[in-house]
Amino acid sequence: MSLVCSISNEVPEHPCISPKSGAIFERRLIEKYIVENECDPINGQPLTADELIDVKTPPIVRPKPPSATSIPATLKTMQDEWDSLMLHAFTQRQQLQTARQELSHALYQHDAACRVIARLNKEVAAAREALATLKPQTGISAIQAAPQPAIAAEAAGVATQPVEQAGMSAEVIQKLQDKATVLTQERKKKGRTVPEELVSQEKIRGFLTLASHPGLHSASVPGILALDINHSDQSKILTGGNDKNATVFNKDTEQIVAILKGHTKKVTKVIFHPEEDTVITASPDASIRVWHVPTSQTQLLLRCHDEPVTGLSLHPTGDYVLSTSSDKHWAFSDIRSGRLLTKVADTADYGLTTAQFHPDGLIFGTGTEDSQVKIWDLKEQSNVANFAGHTGPITAISFSENGYYLATAADDACVKLWDLRKLKNFKTIQLDDGYEVKDLCFDQSGTYLSIAGTDIRVYLCKQWQELKVFNDHTALATGVRFGKHAQYIASTSMDRTLKLYGIE
């Protein structure tokens, strides 16, 4: 029900009720009427303004009177709307420009933050590497006079042998023959007897992982590629890494003895001299370095090859080194004088992949990229036998200490055993499909054979029975060696660790 003034018949803005008649009036109109007549306009009874009762109602919204009643008024209205729209669009563009500037600034800050995070991550990685090597390197200062670890540098006057071949003199050949005669007699004296100190096959089966050392080489370029053990001091282990360094490590004190720096590419072959504190290393930088471990200095820098050195073996005399290369040559050098004695090209047009001397030192074996294993006569510098049967490049060869057996491996997931007396393959150890073999090693007695690759395996020779498998490495194993009398086994891997196995 709407309120209507009894005088104007319109909706009142300020309604009030007369207590005399109960009618509703517009206060403005009824007050004027009372001033003139002093009574209620409906029933004529006396009435004063003070007696009026206000009625509380919501405010009235009156409709706007029509303004666009003509074409000019309509045009003006539309112009006003257009102006308002343009002003709003201008404001929106200003807000958009401000938002773009804020976004650009935020993106710049994000990019700067990412660069800072990357730098901090690099520093954290360097700090972790330093922390990992902190414990082993603490012993270097006690071994050497300098407070810092021995970092190898080329000594002044490093000898480099001339490219010309000095030739195999009668004196050298006689020296090789005399050494071979002595070694052959010693082996005959030993006969088939096994050293009493040799660890039995039952104990080999019980070998456990005794230690794992990840801090020998840089973490930024992970991977240990080569391994050897000092025969005169079984506590010293030599490793070559992807970080271009070779490291001498003492397993008993768990300390680094020396870090040998000088190669410009990764170190792929290492040899510890059996009677001296001397190390020999080879690298794809086409060089061979002879190091003096106490001073960590390069004594000799041999450049026998034009391409990466792929094989390295020390002659039993301890005075000469054999090397092979992908330049299709093998070289025989004197590590005392630095002279290249002879360099011979393989008859086949394929690079050589590995090399090792026979225990007597008069013959040696090489592997080729075309799956061939070749036996050479050192004195005659001629190829005397070839063993075919593998597929893929030869990755490792190893002569048994008894001088009768040769173990070879290639990229075909098997290890072949050859009888050097009958010149034939008498046993093939077939491994799992896809198994990669990177290194082979007989122990010093010729009783056990170890394989490094997808894992570490130990076999009993003659029966060729598998004794133990070690799966501790998290990446491809690259090297394996037996300690004296097989008291322990050492292995290296692309996971940057040196692991030691034995009996607790």
Whether the predicted model's global pTM rises above the 0.75 cut: no
At 138 the pLDDT is: 47
- Predicted confidence at residue 134, as pLDDT, reads 61
Buried b (16+ CB within 10 A) or exposed e, 368-393: bbbbbbbbbebeeeebeeebebbeeb
pLDDT in tens, the chain (504 residues): 578 999 988 888 899 999 999 999 999 999 999 999 999 999 999 999 999 999 988 877 767 777 777 888 888 889 989 989 999 998 999 999 999 999 999 999 999 999 999 999 989 888 877 776 665 544 444 444 433 344 444 433 344 444 567 778 888 889 899 988 988 888 777 766 778 888 988 989 999 999 999 888 887 888 899 999 998 888 999 999 999 999 999 999 988 999 999 999 999 999 999 988 999 999 999 999 999 999 999 999 999 899 999 999 999 999 999 999 999 999 999 998 888 999 998 877 889 999 999 998 999 999 999 999 999 999 888 999 999 889 989 999 999 988 888 999 999 999 999 999 888 899 999 998 889 999 999 998 888 999 999 999 999 988 889 999 999 899 999 999 999 889 999 999 999 899 999 987
Among candidate residues 391, 383, 443, 388, the one with its CA nearest the CA of residue 418:
388
CB 319 within 8 A of CB 292: no
Q: Look up residue 401 and give its two tokens.
A: 């200490």
Which domains are delineated in the chain?
1-60 (3.30.40.10), 170-502 (2.130.10.10)
Distance between CA 214 and CA 132 in Å, rounded?
7
User: Is residue 199 within 8 Å of residue 207, measured between CB atoms?
Assistant: no
What was the pLDDT predicted at 194? 77
Contact (CB, 8 A) for 287 and 302: yes
In 3-state terms, what secondary structure has residue 156? Answer: strand
- Per-residue confidence (pLDDT) for residue 1, from 0 to 100: 52
Length of the chain: 504
* Residue 88 in tokens: 């709003």
Burial of 193 (0-12, 13-18, 19+ CB in 10 A): exposed
The pLDDT assigned to 144 comes to 43
